[in-house]
């Protein structure tokens, strides 16, 4: 599925698309924050792209994903550059009017739970190549559910950090209810993209025994409160 087909699907299913703008920045020396605290735990995935080649359709440079193979594709109007003049960053896509699409498979029947967390970090820089495209990174997420289940609720959080030479590190955190089978992530803007790291975490439904304990505990708490009254 190419990026145009995915965008059409978004319109048909009422997908939430959030354009995130730079709100606050602080000068630091490094782009990486080490990832979320839950990285490497049960039901998690990790995908990293450094764009070391000009391939417009590739799997991650490195990934840990027991649910399937993550895929990334670059729209044909984007241009690849091995380096930028007077810049230490290498392997860069200039999006201009193009976009980057990423598919992350990260759920199965075992993990068909109540919630999913996404932690994504992007290293980018304003390109200024097209006057009709915003000079800022925009990120969209399209959850994929089973047939007949399209309801979605999302919570987006974003932080932007200014690095050296005009580069930014942007971290986007997304919570999704209910837990979808996979996600399509798209990146747009008149920007250069250097690196992308994406973590996901599936939160399972409580086991029946655990759920019963939770209900029993709540019931006992109510009874104790009534006796005191």
Domain boundaries along the sequence of the chain: 3-228
Beta strands in 23-113 (DSSP E): 44-49, 57-58, 62-64, 71-74, 79-83, 90-94, 100-105
**CA distance linking residue 159 with residue 75, whole number of Å:** 26
**CA distance linking residue 113 with residue 229, whole number of Å:** 38
Q: Is residue 144 within 8 Å of residue 200, measured between CB atoms?
A: no
Q: Cα Rg for the chain, rounded, in angstroms?
A: 20
**CA distance linking residue 156 with residue 124, whole number of Å:** 19
pLDDT at 225: 53
Pairing of strands 90-94, 62-64: unpaired
- From first to last of the 229 residues of the chain, give the pLDDT tens digit: 444 444 434 333 334 433 333 333 333 333 455 899 999 999 999 999 999 889 898 878 899 999 999 999 999 889 999 998 888 899 999 998 999 999 999 887 777 778 999 999 999 999 999 999 999 999 999 988 876 666 678 999 999 999 999 999 999 999 998 888 889 999 999 999 999 999 999 988 765 443 344 444 444 544 555 555 5
**CA distance linking residue 70 with residue 182, whole number of Å:** 10
């Amino acid at each position: 599925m190419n990026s145009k087909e995915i965008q059409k699907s978004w319109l048909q299913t009422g997908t939430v698309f959030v354009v995130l703008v730079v709100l606050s920045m602080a000068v630091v020396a490094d782009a990486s924050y080490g990832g979320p605290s839950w990285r490497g735990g049960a039901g998690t995935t990790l995908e990293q792209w450094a764009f070391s080649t000009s391939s417009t359709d590739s799997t991650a440079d490195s990934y840990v994903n027991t649910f399937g193979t993550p895929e990334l594709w670059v729209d044909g109007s984007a241009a690849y550059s091995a380096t930028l003049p007077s810049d230490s960053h290498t392997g860069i896509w200039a999006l201009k009017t193009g976009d980057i699409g990423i598919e992350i498979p990260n759920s199965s029947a075992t993990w068909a739970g109540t919630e999913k967390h996404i932690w994504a970090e992007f290293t980018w820089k304003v390109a200024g190549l097209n006057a009709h495209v915003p000079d800022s990174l925009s990120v969209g997420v399209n959850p994929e559910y089973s047939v007949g289940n399209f309801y979605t609720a999302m919570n987006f959080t974003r932080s932007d950090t200014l690095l050296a030479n005009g580069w930014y590190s942007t971290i986007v955190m997304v919570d999704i209810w209910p837990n979808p089978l996979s996600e399509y992530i798209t990146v747009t803007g008149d920007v250069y993209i250097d690196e992308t790291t994406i973590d996901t975490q599936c939160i399972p439904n409580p086991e029946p025994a655990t759920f019963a304990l939770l209900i029993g505990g709540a019931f006992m708490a109510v009874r104790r409160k009534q006796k005191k009254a």
